[in-house]
Amino acid sequence: MRAFAPAAPGQSGLQDPPGGRPGRRRTASGPWWKADARSDPWRDPEAPAALGAPAVYEEDAQAGPVIVDARGRRKLRIRDLSVRVSVLALLAVLLVGAVGGGLGWYLTRTAAETPLLAPGTQLSKVDPGVARKPGSVADIAARVAPAVVSIEVRVGQAGATGSGVVVDGGKGYIVTNNHVVSGADGVSGAEIRAVFSDGSGSKARIVGRDPSSDVAVLKVEKPGLVTASLGTSHDVVVGDPVVAIGSPLGLAGTVTSGIVSALDRPVRLSGEGSDTNAVIDAVQTDAPINPGNSGGALVDATGAVIGINTAIASLGGNGTTGGSIGLGFAIPIDTVRQISQELISTGKAVHASLGVNTRSVTDGTRDGALVLNVEKQSAAAGAGIREQDVVIALEGKKVRSSEELAVAVDSHKPGDEVTVELVRGGHSQKLQVTLDRA
């Protein structure tokens, strides 16, 4: 087979076969010899070759819901879906919703209602076996609560509620606060009633009361009372756990707990409608105490009474209308025991007296009790104490306020000789004083 000759000078493209004779398929309508055949680069063996850009697909130009993007991925174009298919899908969703709703309505209409009452029903329960160890609050409350009573006082149309502690169940003696019962003493038609933990009650009579310590003793004619165990406040330390039991706000048998937050806290007591005028060396506690707790028990972890709840500190400044803010005060049981024994024995309590009126002062470096006046023929007058003297100690114990001076004097008995240290004219001196009977 003979090959085509190369193109003559000045010519390009494909050449005619040798001899100038066209091939058998050389027709005007043949695919090889179209009018532009001589200039078609695909038919020209000498046409230059080069790589071009990849094919570009335009989505808008592609027909049908399934298209191919520029990366060759097949995607479904929702807008090209058939209207019929869209309508069918919508109808299917509506049909499912209608069938579900209708089925639910039918079941609720045809289901029979069960009776409201079911006699003999028993709910499930568990028995965890809670162990209440000795010394727990629950254990203390169970043992002491029967010895704590509610005191109800009625004078005419007025009434008040307090608490009390049975100190001698055999003889029916109950200790409470003077300010709880003082308003009924000697008043015609007044009534004092003790209500016990079992709900029973009994009329109570005043054995004796002491405004100078805010302690009073009542007596009831009811045998077989549970007697509280009286401890000692001498061994109490700050941080000891305590439980308060009483009738705050008239709610009998209320139990609260806390700790001893301070000791030897001088607190002046005076109540509206009461002749109480006392300064106590209080046991301070954060156990919640409210009006009505007065006269109730403050108990240690052994169940022994270490104090008689008496007062609270209140933001309103009124222990009658204020509520607990975590500062309650109790008369130490050692003081209560001594005063109660005197009241039961004689109906009266005896206190020592220095015979001065004072107020608290400080010079910026040292505190004391400034003597405002000296009673005539008193122990202070006999020892040479003068007005404007500042008492700073008694029997070696510092005196930093008028309340501390009152507590220090009251810790002694009439006739005791004590050393009083005072400041006069800028100089300190000591005097020997024999205390009087108040």
Q: State the CB neighbour count (10 A cutoff) for residue 269.
A: 23
Q: Which of 233, 247, 274, 294 is catalytic?
A: 294
CB 241 within 8 A of CB 300: yes
Q: Which of 179, 286, 351, 410 is catalytic?
A: 179
Burial 12-42 (b: 16+ CB within 10 A, else e): eebeeeeeeeeeeeeeeeeeebeeeeeeeee
294 counts as catalytic: yes
Phi-psi region of 197 (alpha: psi -120 to 50; beta: other; left: phi over 0): alpha
* Per-residue CA distances from 129 to 123, 126, 132, 275 (Å): 19, 9, 10, 52
User: Which of 222, 415, 363, 231 lies closest to 306, judged by CA?
Assistant: 231
- The residues, any chain, with a CB within 8 Å of residue 210's CB and separated by 6 or more, are 178, 216, 339, 342, 343, 348, 349
- The residues, any chain, with a CB within 8 Å of residue 367's CB and separated by 6 or more, are 360, 361, 392, 400, 401
Residue 338 belongs to what H/E stretch? helix 333-346
CA–CA dist 14, 37 (Å, integer): 9
Q: Which of 214, 286, 300, 334 is catalytic?
A: 214
Q: State the CB neighbour count (10 A cutoff) for residue 273.
A: 12
179 counts as catalytic: yes
Phi-psi region of 110 (alpha: psi -120 to 50; beta: other; left: phi over 0): alpha
Roughly how many angstroms between the first and final C-alpha of the chain, as a whole number? 157
Q: State the CB neighbour count (10 A cutoff) for residue 295.
A: 32
* Per-residue CA distances from 124 to 115, 120, 121, 127 (Å): 20, 13, 10, 10
**Enzyme catalytic residues:** 179, 214, 294
